[in-house]
Chain A
Amino acid sequence: MVRMVFVSHDNNEYPVEVAEGTTLLRAALDNGVPGMTGECGGELACATCHCYLDEGVRAKIDEPGDDEAEMLEGAIDVTADSRLGCQLRATASFDGVRIRLPASQT
């Protein structure tokens, strides 16, 4: 299992524990975390699973692929920390990680 904490834009914390390999989108939806909309259901077509990852974990995982990078352009308030949650899988690298959510997805 991987333990992570989703943090809403107004700093509410939602700890979750999910099986390794679960996407961050699924992890949020299945645990009732608000702020991950996932409108397209993980088809990489909507950019409403936007989230922010700290440098620490980003250094341990793959960079976004071309398709994710392109779709990210459609998200709001994109920074260097931005990723799409439907494209990320909870692995050991995510254990203990805080995933910040944007204000636009409420």
Chain B
Amino acid sequence: MEIQVVSKNNVPEHVPDDLVRDFNHFTFSPEDEDAHLNWARVVNNDIPLFFTPHFGGYWVINDARLLEDAFPDWELFSSAHKIGVPPTPDDVPHLLPIEADDPYHKQLRRPLNLALSPKGVIALAASAKELVAQLVDEIVVQGHCEFVHDFSLKMPMDLFLRMVNLPAEDRETLIALANTGLKAHDEAARLDAMRSMNAYLHQKVVERLESPGDDLMSAIITMDIDGRKLTIGEQVGYMTTALFGGLDTVGGMMAMTARHLARNPDHRKLLVAHPEKIPDMIEEVLRRYAISTVSRFVTRDVEFGGVQLKQGDRIMLPTPIHGIDESRWDNALEVQLDRKPTDHMAFGKGTHRCPGAILARAELRIFVEEWLKRIPDFAIDESRGGEKWETGTVLGLKSLPLHWQA
């Protein structure tokens, strides 16, 4: 895939012509093409850092090492000016703790770190196992499913609703809002869904404050920070992140995992015979098929990656490019179970590194274990349209029809 070089319209003075590309992360890869392979062509052929005029203009990091430098440098690359491309308007509360800088951010993380710690995850993993088993049992007899709709959108939402003690019946409404809020190409539709989600959470926060329990939502909304309670805006913003943070990402990685196994019978067979190797496979899938993209605000004029950035510029940090950069990994596109990567970027790096990583790994492991126990052999169902991709903040599959011998 070649990205078009565009003329210097809508590009700030300090950006040289030869660094400008016509790139829109929502539309750069069509739905019937593998978005990682399209990214791989960009990362392995084009310059390490380029500028695109879309959405008011932003830099795009296109190199694994630059990504490793950018993530931990929160003083240079701030999250407090929001992390979306484009950022949400001012009336949408900051997503917390993600859209905040240290030291405030570190304080906000405390209840989440404990809830999602190794000890916290023991109980959550038991819940996850129950939910996975229940869902797979429901679909195994059909002999086919649309994996995204029937499984990977549902399971993480069910678990989240249990963690925060909200009614399981709200699942479908919330899935629809989360999907539109994160994925719709139309900005107005995205914002509409975000606002509805905020309104829903606002109401739930107010109710929960009257009778807090021992769930994660109570821990978040009753926390103290510098001896004060959170404001309602902070509480709602925090719950929004907690909700978005663990849904699309875990579901998206589950779909990547299912697709990889559907296409690689040798890996399937190996894992059925050696379930103890499942964590190694998951780590490789996280590296090879990373899905999250965030952005930052440049806090001072600086030379970065050989390019002059100016205070106020936006810069995008796409984790999907890290694992597929051939200059960073040997045979980057190959999933090798003995690679055991400990330094991939699927969960970011530095102070904002994903607090849900331990839980996410447990959910993915449990999914593969329980799925392969019941459905050891399966393939992508081309007669039902095959896989369909989508790109954006979270890149991934919007549908993955699978079939097997029931």
Q: Which residues does A use to contact B, with CB under 8 Å? A: 29, 39-41, 43, 45-48, 50, 70-71, 73-76, 104
Beyond A39-B358, A40-B353, A45-B355, whether A76 also contacts B114 by CB under 8 A is: no
Using A45-B109, A46-B358, A48-B358 as known contacts, say yes or no to A74 and B117 having CB atoms under 8 A apart: yes
Q: Is the interface of A mostly helix, strand, loop or mixed?
A: loop
A43 to B117, CA, bound (A): 13
Tell me the minimal C-beta distance from B119 to chain A in angstroms: 5
Q: Could you say which residues of chain A place their CB within 8 Å of the CB of B122?
A: 76
Residues of B contacting A76 in the complex (Cβ-Cβ under 8 angstroms): 118-119, 122
Interface: B327 (CB within 8 A): no
Q: How far is the CA of A50 from the CA of B358 in the complex (A)?
A: 15
Give chain B's interface residue range (CB within 8 Å of chain A).
Answer: 10 to 19
B44 interface contact, C-beta 8 A = no
Binding site for A on B (CB under 8 A): 109-110, 113-114, 117-120, 122, 342, 349-351, 353, 355, 357-358
Which B residues touch A41, using CB under 8 A? 349-350, 353
Report B-chain residues with C-beta under 8 Å of the C-beta of A39: 357-358
Chain A CB within 10 Å, residue with most, of B114, B118, B350, B355: B118
Q: List 8 A-B contacts (CB under 8 A).
A: A41-B353, A71-B113, A71-B114, A73-B117, A74-B118, A74-B119, A75-B119, A76-B122
The CA of A40 and the CA of B353, in the complex, are separated in Å by 7
CA of A43 to CA of B351 in the docked complex: distance in angstroms? 6
Chain B nearest Cβ from A35, distance in angstroms: 13
The reply to whether B358 and A70 form a contact with Cβ atoms under 8 Å apart is no
Which of the residues A29, A46, A50 comes within 8 Å of B113, measured between beta carbons?
Answer: A46
The CA of A70 and the CA of B113, in the complex, are separated in Å by 10
Question: Closest 6 A-B residue pairs measured CB to CB?
Answer: A74-B117, A45-B113, A47-B117, A74-B114, A74-B119, A76-B118
A47 to B350, CA, bound (A): 15
Closest A residue, CB atoms, query B347? A39
A43 near B118: Cβ-Cβ < 8 Å: no
Task: Given A41-B353, A45-B353, A46-B358, decide whether A70 and B117 contact each other with a Cβ distance below 8 A.
Answer: no
CA distance A46 to B342 in the complex (A): 15
The answer to whether B353 touches A75, judged by C-beta atoms less than 8 angstroms apart, is: no
Q: Which of A43, A50, A74 contacts B120 (CB 8 A)?
A: A74
Contacting B118 at CB < 8 Å: which of A29, A45, A48, A70? Answer: A48
**For B342, what are the chain A residues with a Cβ–Cβ distance below 8 Å?**
29
Which residue of chain B has its CB nearest to the CB of A38? B342
Given the contacts A39-B358, A46-B358, A48-B358, A75 and B117 also touching, CB distance less than 8 Å: yes
User: Closest residue to B349 on the A side, CB-wise?
Assistant: A41
Minimum CB distance partner of B361 in chain A: A39
A47 to B121, CA, bound (A): 12
Report whether A46 and B117 are in contact in the complex, using a CB–CB cutoff of 8 Å: yes
